[in-house]
Structure 1
Amino acid sequence: MDHSPYEPRADLPEELAELRLLALDLRWSWSHVADALWRRIDEPLWRHTRNPWLILQTVSVRRLAELAGDAGFRSLLRELREEQKAALAGDTWFSQKHGDAGLTPVAYFCMEYGLSEALPLYSGGLGVLAGDHLKTCSELGVPLTAIGLLYQQGYFRQALDAEGNQLAFYPYNDPTLLPATPVRNADGEWLTVSLEFPGRELLLRAWQVQVGRVHLYLLDSNHPLNDAADRGITSELYGGGPELRLQQELVLGVGGWRLLESLGQAPQVCHLNEGHAAFAVLERARAFRHREGTDFATALVATRAGNLFTTHTPVEAGFDRFAPALVRHYLAPWCEQAGLAPDALLALGRANPDDAHEPFNMAWLAIHGSAAVNGVSRLHGRVSRHLFEPLFPRWPTAEVPVGHVTNGVHVPSWDSPESDRLWTAACSKDRWRDELQELEAAISQVSDTELWEMRGRNRQRLVEWIRRRKGYQQPANREAVEILDPNVLTLGFARRFATYKRPNLLLHDPARLAALLGRSEQPVQLVIA
C-alpha cells in the first residue's frame, strides 16, 4: 500500500529536495545536529515551534536560494540524510539479539503520544512514555506499529494571568502544518475506516507519522461526510463528558484494529497502553470469529493470548467507567456483528458479572481480554495487585497476576547538547543501545571535573530559561528569579498537581528538608512548576 506524503511546495531547489524526507521523519526530535540544520533555516520559528514541516512550508524562496548556495548548509544536509539512511537500513539490536524472529509488528494502542512539541497530541506522562516507547523501538529495531488519534485541538495550553490564575487555551492543530501525512490506498484515495454508531456510520480518515523505523497511524473523525457532532469526536484530548470519551475509545480500539486490517497487517501481539484502548481486544476477537467461524467466547480466548495490558493508574478512580445504558446504546450495532449478547459484553467490564448496575470498567475489560498485565514500577505493580483484587476473588493478593516493567526513557530525546558531547566522547553515539553494565568502564574514565562542568552548564541553561519565562510577575516572584544561582544544587518538582502525584512530597520529611535548606555553606534552591 502506498503512503503518499503531502507535497509542501514545488519550488524547493534540487539541492535541498531531501529536506522533505528529513522533515517528515521525527528522528530530528532526538538529534542535536538536526536542531542546527532547522535553526539555520529560520531560527525564530524553530525556537517557537520546533516544527521542521512548518518551517519547510513557510520559508521564503529567497531564503531557500541562499541556503542552496551555502556549501556548509548543503554539507550538513547531506550528513543528516546519510545518517537517516544508515539508521533505517542498518543492522539493529533486535536483529542481532533475535535474528529472524518471525514476529509481525506489535500493535501498540495509546490515547496520546508525546513525540515532540511539533505534534501536540499529549497531555502528560502517559503520552511522553508512549512517545519514548516508539523512539526506542525505532532505535532498537523492535517491529512495532502504533495507533492513536489525531486531535483537532489536543490538550489545552496553559498560561498565567496577571493575578497568577491559570488560563487554558485550545489552539487548532492544522493537520497540514503537522509532520503527519494522509494514508492513501493503491488508487491514491485517502484511506478511511468506518464504525457503526447508533443510526449512522462514522467515517475515520487515517494519517501517518514516521518515527524512524516505526509508523504511528492516527485516526481523525473530522471527515466532511460526518455530521458536525461526529466531526468533533477527535476534537480534544480528555475533553467533554463520558459520551465523548466512550466515542473516542471506540474510535481508538475498534477503529484502530480495523485500520490495521485495512493496512494488511496481522499483529501477533497487541499492546494496550492503558485501559482507554481496551475495545481493541473486542474487535480483534470479533475479526477472529468472522475469519475462523468460531463463536465469540472461543475467539476471545484464542486472541487473548496475544494481548498485553500496561496499567499506569495508581488509584481506582483513574479507571474509565461508563454507565451500562450508554455502553448498550453505542455497542448494540457492534454486538450484533460479533454475535455477542449485550449482557455478555457488559460482563466483561465488571468485577461482578451478575450486578446489572455495576458500571462498565475499561480496565476490567482490558484484564479480561489480556494474557499479561503489568504495572510501571515494582511499587506500582504491588499497588495494582490490590486494585485488581476484585477480579480475582479468594486469590492471595501477592498472586494476583500483575507484574511490572519499570518505565524507561529514550535518553537521546532528553539529554542536552553538553551531556551528549560528554557521553559521546566517553561511550560512543550508540551507547544506549546495549546493556548499561557495558558502559560502566567507559563512564568511570570521565573525571569529576568534567561531570561537574557539564552539570553546571546545564544548570546555567535552566536558570536562564526560567528567567526568560513570562507569567506571574509579582515582586516576590521577581526577587526569586534574581537570586537563582546556576552554581547551586537545584531541586526541581514539575508535575501536574493531582493528589496521587504527591505534590507535598518535598514536605514528607520536614526535618530532613530543614537540614538540607539550613546549610549556608552548602546552599540549595528549589524550582517548583
Structure 2
Amino acid sequence: MSDKKFNTWQHPYTPNPKYSKRVAYFCMEYAIHQPLKLYAGGLGYLAGSHMRSAYELKQNLIGIGIHWKYGYFNQTSDEFRQMTVQWQARNYNFLEDTGIVVPVYVDRHQIYVKAMYLRPEIFNTVPIYLLTTDIPENDYLAQTITHKLYDGDLAARIAQSIVLGIGGAKVVEALGGADIYHINEGHALPVAFYLYSKYRDLEEVKKRFVFTTHTPERAGNAVHEMWLLEKMSFFNFTPLPEIRKITQVEGDELDYTLTALRMAKIANGVSKIHGEVSRKMWEGNEGICPIISITNAQNKRYWADTDLVKALAVHDDEALLKRKRHLKKRLFETVGDQTGELFDPDVLTIVWARRFAGYKRPDLLIADYERFMALISRKDKPVQIIWAGKPYPLDQHGISTFNHLVRYTQKMPNCAVLTGYELTLSRLLKCGSDVWLNTPRRPQEASGTSGMTAAMNGSINFSILDGWVAEFARHGENAFIIPPVDTSLPLDEQDRIDCQNMYDILENEIIPLYYDHHDKWLEMMKRSMSEVTPYFDSGRMADEYYRLLYEA
C-alpha cells in the first residue's frame, strides 16, 4: 500500500541527462547532519557526502537506509572521565511517513517494513528512504530489528541486512523500480538474492547489481554459516543448492564480499591502493567481477568553512590566519567545556580523530614514553594534542585504549581526549587543528577520508602513506608523510619504526616549520587547501560512479 504522493521518485529537479539512469544506493548508515544520528563512522560520512553531491549534480539517484531508533550510541563519560555508552530514542519530526509498507521474512516469519522519507530540501540531499520495523504491525522482537545500528547480536545483524536489502528492494519497486542497485559495503547483500529470486538468472542480476567494498582486511569481511543465513531467510527462499551454485560456495560459510563480487557486474575499491589490495585479496577466486578504483571524497560545500575558502580565493593571508585562529578558539571552547583545560590558539595543535580501531593506532603517539613526555613538556615551541573517536560499543580493546589515553593524559594541561565524535565535533576538530594526524598500519586504511575535510579547513595532513593520502600528499609541500615501513615485519616492529619516524618528522620538521618559518607554514597550508579540491570533492566521486560503475 502506498500514498500516491510517494509512488515514484520525488526529485525536486529534472535529472541531468548525463545521470538519467535510475540508481538505488543502499547503505547501512548515513551521516547527513548532526540531528540525524544514523551513522557510526567513515562509511556513513562517505555516504552522506555522496547523497549531497548527487543532489548538487542533479543525479537520478535515491538513498535507501535504515531509521535507527537509538542511532549508534551517545558517547559520554563517567565521573572519572571513563567512556560510557548511552542509548537514546529519537523521534525525527522532519521525516515523513510515505505510507509504503512492504512484507519481508526474517527467520521464516513475515514482518513489515515501513519507509520514512527525508525530503531533499531538509539537508540538500537526494531523496532518502529510511526503513523501520518499529511499527504496530510487528511484534516487539521484530520492532527491535531497526533499533540499534550494528547490533551486537548476530541474528539481529543478519535481520538488519534482510530489512535493508530485501525490504529496501521492495520499497524501490514500490517507487517504480531502478536500473541499478548499488550496495555500499556488504551489509545489503540480500538485494542480490532478492533480484535473483525475481529473475532466476544470475546474468540478469549482474546487469542491475554493483558493489563497493571498503574493507581491505579479510577479517573485516562478514562471513556467516550458510545454514544460519538460510534459516534467517537471507536468501529470500531460493533453495540452498541453487544458492551454492550461483555463489560457488562449497563449504559451510558464505563470505559477503566474495559473494557480492560474484553476483555484481562490476565493483570498486575506494582508493587506488585499496583497489590494488582488493584485487590481490580476491585473485584466484573464480567468477568474480572486475574491481576498479573510485577514490572516496567528501562534500566541500558541507565541510569547508566558508570564510576560510573566501580568504584563500582572494589571497587574503591576514583574513585567512585571523579566521583560522578564531576557529581554533572555537574548538578550544569545547575542549574547555569537556575537560576544564584552556588551550592556547597560538600553540601548534595536533588532532588524532577517527573511529577507535586497533589498526588505526590511536595510541601510537604515546608508544615512546620518553619522546612523548619531552614533546608535551616543551616550554619553547609547545604542542597541544587532542584525541577523539568512538570505539565500537562492544570492542573492549578499543574502549580500553580510549580510557587508557584519558588516564594517561588527564593531568597534562596540553592534552585532551574528547567524547561525542559526531559531525559537529568532527567539523570543529578539522577547522581548529593545525595538524591532522593519521596513523593506520599499511595497507589497512581503505581510504581514510577525514584528512580530506581537514585539508579543506587549513589543517595539514601528517599521515602514514595509505588510502587517499597516497594520491594527494607531497611531503613538505602539501602534507607530511611518515615513510612506508616493511609490512612483512612483525606488527610490534612496524609500530616501533612508524613511531620513531613519526617523532623524527614532528621534532625536526613540523614544529620548527610552524614556529620558525610561519610564512612557509602558511604557504603549505594554502597549498593543501587549494590542492585537495576539486579531485577530493565528492562531486568528482559521484560523477565517476555513474560513468565507471553504473554505465559500465
TM-score by structure 1 length?
0.66
Q: Tell me the amino acid that sits aligned with residue 451 of structure 1.
A: L
Give the secondary-structure state (helix, strand or coil) at the position aligned to 1:134: helix
Over the aligned positions, Cα root-mean-square deviation in angstroms equals: 3.1
Question: Does the C-alpha gap of structure 1 residues 377 and 192 become closer, same or farther in structure 2, counting only changes over 3 Å?
Answer: same
The residue that corresponds to 1:56 in the other structure is none
Q: How does 1:230-249 map to 2 (within 5 A)?
A: 230-249=142-161
Bigger CA radius of gyration: 1
Cα distance change on mapping 1:165 and 1:325 into 2, 3 Å: same
Structure 1 residues 199, 509: closer, same or farther in 2, change over 3 A? Answer: closer
Match runs of 1:355-504 below 5 Å: 355=251, 357=252, 359-389=253-283, 391-392=285-286, 401-415=290-304, 419-424=305-310, 443=313, 445-469=314-338, 478=340, 481-482=341-342, 484-504=343-363
CA deviation digits over 1:28-55, x for unaligned, max 9?
A: xxxxxxxxxxxxxxxxxxxxxxxxxxxx
Residue 238 of structure 1 aligns to a residue whose secondary structure is coil
Distance 2:196 2:286 in 1: 23
8 Å contact from structure 1 (residues 282, 300) kept in 2: no
Contact 2:190 2:234 in 1 (8 A): no
Residue 253 (1) aligns with residue 165 (2): yes
TM-score, length basis structure 2: 0.63
| 1:514-525 alignment, distance < 5 Å | 521-525=380-384
Q: Give the Å deviation of 1:513.
A: 8.2
Question: Shift of residue 502 of structure 1?
Answer: 2.9
TM-superposed deviation, 1:490: 1.3
Amino acid in structure 2 at the alignment position of 1:450: A
After superposition, residues 342-353 of structure 1 pair within 5 angstroms as 342-346=240-244, 353=249
Task: Please give the per-residue CA displacement for 1:266-315, whole angstroms capped at 9, x wherever unaligned.
Answer: x222211000011112212333x2xxxxxx2xx22123133221111122
Shift of 1:115: 0.7
Matched with 2:197 is 286
**What does residue 49 of structure 1 align with?**
none
* Structure number with higher relative contact order (C-alpha < 8 Å, ≥ 6 residues apart): 2
Q: Aligned ranges for residues 13-162 of structure 1 at < 5 Å? A: 88=12, 95=16, 100-101=17-18, 103-162=20-79
Cα offset, 1:514, TM superposition: 9.5
Structure 2 equivalent of residue 195 of structure 1 = 104
Three-state SS of the structure 2 residue aligned to 1:334 is coil
- Is the 8 Å Cα contact of residues 198 and 333 (structure 1) preserved in structure 2? no
Q: C-alpha deviations, 1:189-219, integer Å up to 9, x for none?
A: x220011344531111111112336110111
The answer on whether the counterparts of 2:67 and 2:132 sit within 8 Å (CA) in structure 1 is yes
Give the superposition deviation at 1:245: 0.8
Aligned partners of 2:231 and 2:38: how far apart in 1?
Answer: 29
Residue type of the alignment partner of 1:341: P
* Residue 167 in structure 1 maps to residue 76 in structure 2: no
For residues 144 and 425 of structure 1, the distance between their equivalents in structure 2, rounded to whole angstroms, comes to 34
Alignment-mate amino acid for residue 454 of structure 1: R
Find out whether 1:272 has 2:183 as its counterpart. yes
Q: Is the 8 A contact 2:195 2:205 kept in 1?
A: yes
Q: Which of 207, 211, 220 is residue 318 of structure 1 equivalent to?
A: 220
Name the CA distance, whole Å, in 1 between partners of 2:81 and 2:311. Answer: 44
Q: Unaligned 5+ residue runs, structure 1?
A: 6-24, 26-86, 184-189, 290-295, 427-442, 471-477
Would you say the 8 A contact 1:314–1:500 is kept in 2?
no
Matched to 1:205, the amino acid is K
Q: Report the CA distance between 1:246 and its aligned residue.
A: 0.8
Structure 1 residue aligned with 2:239: 341
Q: Is the 8 A contact 2:117 2:128 kept in 1?
A: yes
Alignment match, 2:209: 307
Q: Distance in 2 between matches of 1:511 and 1:139?
A: 50
Matched, 1:263 2:175: yes
Task: Specify the SS of the correspondent of 2:350.
Answer: strand
Aligned to 1:14: none
1:375 and 1:403 in contact (8 A); partners too? yes
Any conservation in 2 of the 1:111–1:277 contact (CA below 8 Å)? yes
8 Å Cα contact 1:88-1:213 kept in structure 2: no
Q: 1:179 aligns with which of 81, 84, 94?
A: 94
CA distance 1:268–1:332, change in 2 (3 Å): closer
1:208 partnered with 2:117: yes
| Contact 2:134–2:142 (CA under 8 A) maintained in structure 1 | yes
Count of aligned pairs between the two proteins: 381
Pair 1:521–1:221, CA change in 2 (3 A): same
Query: How big is the shift at 1:362?
Result: 1.3
Give the equivalent residue in structure 2 for 1:31.
none
Query: Alpha-carbon deviation of 1:516?
Result: 7.7
Q: Distance in 2 between matches of 1:511 and 1:403?
A: 44
How many Å apart are 1:252 and its aligned residue?
0.6
Residue 387 of structure 2 is matched in structure 1 by 528
The question of whether the paired residues in 1 share the 8 Å contact of 2:311 and 2:320 is answered with no
DSSP 3-state at the match of 1:373: strand
> 1:3: how far off?
6.9
1: CA distance, partners of 2:286 / 2:324: 49
Taking the aligned partners of 1:163 and 1:406, their CA distance within structure 2 comes to 41
Q: Which residue number corresponds to residue 430 of structure 1?
A: none
Please tell me whether the aligned partners of residues 19 and 58 of structure 2 are also in contact (alpha carbons under 8 angstroms). no
CA contact (8 A) 2:116 2:130 kept: yes
Q: Check the 8 A contact 1:315/1:500 in 2, yes or no.
A: no
- Structure 1 Cα separation of the partners of residues 97 and 267 of structure 2: 34
Mapped to 2, the partners of 1:403 and 1:332 lie a distance apart of 28
Opposite residue 160 of structure 2, the aligned amino acid is Q
Contact 1:118/1:179 (CA < 8 Å) preserved in 2? no
Measured after TM superposition, the shift of residue 250 of structure 1 is: 0.7
CA distance in 2, matches of 1:346, 1:459: 56
Q: Which residue does 1:55 correspond to in 2? A: none
Report if aligned partners of 1:275, 1:363 keep a CA contact under 8 Å in 2. Answer: yes
Deviation of residue 486 (structure 1)? 0.8
Deviations 1:426-463 (A, max 9, x none): 6xxxxxxxxxxxxxxxx3x4133232222111111111
Measured at CA, do residues 200 and 518 of structure 1 come closer, stay the same or move farther in structure 2, by a change above 3 Å? closer
Q: In 2 relative to 1, CA 315–3 (structure 1 residues): closer, same or farther, beyond 3 Å?
A: farther
- Once the two structures are overlaid, the 10-residue window that deviates more, 248-257 or 315-324, is 315-324
Aligned counterpart, 1:51: none
Q: Tell me: CA distance 1:458–1:369, structure 2 relative to 1, closer, same or farther (3 Å).
A: same
Report the alpha carbon displacement of residue 116 of structure 1 after superposing the two structures with TM.
1.4
